[in-house]
Amino acid sequence: MFPPADPRSLARTRAEAGARLVLRGVWVNLLLAIAKFTGGILGNTYALIADGIESLLDVCSSFLVWAGLRVA
């Protein structure tokens, strides 16, 4: 039989997995922001530029989530 798991170690493992997932999302949003900015500038469309700004704000909020998971 397996010994009972420590709830704190399970929570830590889940928080670390969540932090890794958040960092992946940060990279995806950063790549999207770059692509949207580039498309907006080359296509002269303010909508894509604004969407790029929104993606950068998503990156900022994701960093806050990541920091919260690291502290938890």
Digit-by-digit pLDDT tens for the chain (72 residues) are 566 667 677 777 888 888 899 999 999 999 999 999 999 999 999 999 999 999 999 999 999 999 988 887
pLDDT the model gives residue 5? 66
Domain extent listing, the chain: 13-71
pLDDT the model gives residue 41? 97
pLDDT the model gives residue 1? 59
Q: How far is CA 45 from CA 31, 37, 54, in A?
A: 18, 9, 15
pTM for this predicted structure: 0.76
pLDDT the model gives residue 3? 63
